[in-house]
Amino acid sequence: MAVLLLLLIITAGGDTIAQEKKPQPKTRILFLLDASGSMLAKWEDSDRMSVAKNLLAHLVDSLEKYDNVEVALRVYGHQSGRERSDCKDTKLEVPFSVNNNSAAIRKKLEQIVPKGNTPITYSLQQTATDFPADKARNVIILITDGLESCGGDPCAVSLALQKNRIFLRPFVIGIGIAPEYEQQLSCIGQYFNAADVKTFENVLTQIATQTLSETTVSVELLDEQNRPTETNLNMTFVNAVTGSTEYNYVHYQDSKGKTDMLEIDALVPYDLVVNTTPVVTAKSLQLKPGQHNVIRVKSPQGELYLRQDGPSPYGALAAIVKQQGSDQTLNVQVFGNRHKYLTGKYDLEILTLPRIYLKDVEVKQSQVNTITIPPPGQLAIPSQMQGFGSVYTLDEAGKQTWVCNLPEDNSRVTLALQPGKYRLVYRMKSAQSSKFTDVQDFTIRSGATTSVKIFNR
């Protein structure tokens, strides 16, 4: 079945787009026209080629009013007959020019006669060299009346060119496409099915509007009751194809709870990352180009406050924070600080001696969960010896658990330890038997120093 396909592709520069509004960049539109033999097939009161030429000519004329738009024309399938099976039949007929070249395009359109095959993939590959090297929004409008006929993979090429920032988003328009063939076209880009000439004309106008019209977004960060109360969070608009960052904004909300409007290029496919702890990602944003869009992302937060009463000999004591049941470190939070987390449950490993493990610590919407641990005491070993020793905790049943080793070259240390019962096990390096191991139990109390002397045995 004959098909009319429209592919619109736009690029932006590789650098991160600045937050402040800048003058609109130059837009370059390359028309890539299928002139294979099947384009002569009848379509309503005319044929497909005549309709395509007419609509393209009108579109080129309508673009003359834009100072920052340049146009060009590449054609394929028009130089060799179908019997030659020429899969490299493609040519840039009218290159880009700083001067208006719409008249040259209209004249060239009149001269084209459909003849050959449909090398979509190879023609797409060649368009990468058609655009000047300076920064601009490069747009391709590809028109074809059939699927790839040369065994290529236009979908893979489209994805590769997007990843290399040759273009940003493809738009596909098919005419009379059977449902079983639509997927072969929709994988190239956003797909439209134009059932008649009028629909095709409307789609062309719609795509031109999307290319050149301003698009704005507001982001509402929702709490657990779906109210837009969260704010002051960094939001990153990420190119969903390349993974590169396109925009960074810190969310703003005025005194009345209203968020501001941001201008973005709607022809980039976006994921929105809200940099909460952990992050929240809204995949594949569905933006309406040329309109104002409201994006709602659920990101309820509460606070975790780590506190230790009294002075701490640990110095900057911290805790490793993980999501409940996860082995991945989410944050390392220093005691004395507050940090916001998404509502939910977390596991904490507090870096005391011995470690303190807290499971299922809950963070609730707009609440502060304060975690307090008792101040440590200190173990002082005045003996200056060389040997092998360790400190263990003792529970009520007498089970000992390793805490730390003592330095082999000098046993004279002062260690901050949490309150509790402990055991010191030590053998001097000069001792000639295991039976000379010194074992002593002791107790650590908050804010107090306990001295344990190692005996020379």
pLDDT higher for 116 or 207?
Answer: 116
Q: Give Cα separations from 414 to 319, 375, 382, 456 (angstroms).
A: 22, 16, 9, 19
- By DSSP bridging, strand 368-373 and strand 270-274 are unpaired
Closest CA to 208 of 130, 287, 139: 139
Angle at 201 between CA 198 and CA 205, to 5 degrees: 140
Query: Phi-psi region for residue 447, left (φ > 0), alpha (ψ -120 to 50) or beta?
Result: left
In the block, which residue shows the tokens 């230790």? 308
Q: What is the pLDDT of residue 10?
A: 40
Q: What is the pLDDT of residue 316?
A: 85
Q: What is the pLDDT of residue 315?
A: 79
Helix extents (H) in 48-119: 48-62, 102-111
Instruction: Give all strands (DSSP E) within 351-412, no chain letters.
Output: 356-363, 368-373, 377-381, 387-394, 400-405
The chain-wide mean pLDDT, for the chain, equals: 89
Helix extents (H) in 255-349: none
Closest CA to 382 of 429, 424, 431: 424
pLDDT in tens, 139-164: 888 888 878 889 899 989 989 988 88
pLDDT in tens, 191-245: 877 778 898 888 888 888 888 888 999 999 999 999 999 999 999 999 999 899 9
* Residue 23 clears pLDDT 80, i.e. is over it: no
Contact 98, 72 (CB under 8 A): no
* Residue 4 clears pLDDT 60, i.e. is over it: no
pLDDT in tens, 397-434: 999 999 999 999 999 999 999 999 999 999 999 999 99
Contact 362, 369 (CB under 8 A): yes
How far is it, in rounded angstroms, from Cα 346 to Cα 302?
Answer: 12
- Helices and strands, number each (H, E), in the chain: 6, 30
Contact 396, 381 (CB under 8 A): no
At residue 13 the predicted structure's pLDDT band, cuts being 50, 70 and 90, is very low
pLDDT in tens, 356-403: 999 999 999 999 999 999 999 999 999 999 999 999 999 999 999 999
* Residue 21 clears pLDDT 80, i.e. is over it: no
In the block, which residue shows the tokens 């099976």? 85
Contact 201, 275 (CB under 8 A): no
- By DSSP bridging, strand 90-94 and strand 69-76 are antiparallel
How far is it, in rounded angstroms, from Cα 47 to Cα 39?
Answer: 7
Contact 138, 13 (CB under 8 A): no
Q: Which one-letter amino acid corresponds to residue 434?
A: S
pTM for the complete prediction? 0.81
- By DSSP bridging, strand 137-144 and strand 27-34 are parallel
Q: Give Cα separations from 80 to 53, 107, 118 (angstroms).
A: 20, 21, 11
How far is it, in rounded angstroms, from Cα 161 to Cα 27?
Answer: 18
How far is it, in rounded angstroms, from Cα 43 to Cα 56?
Answer: 16
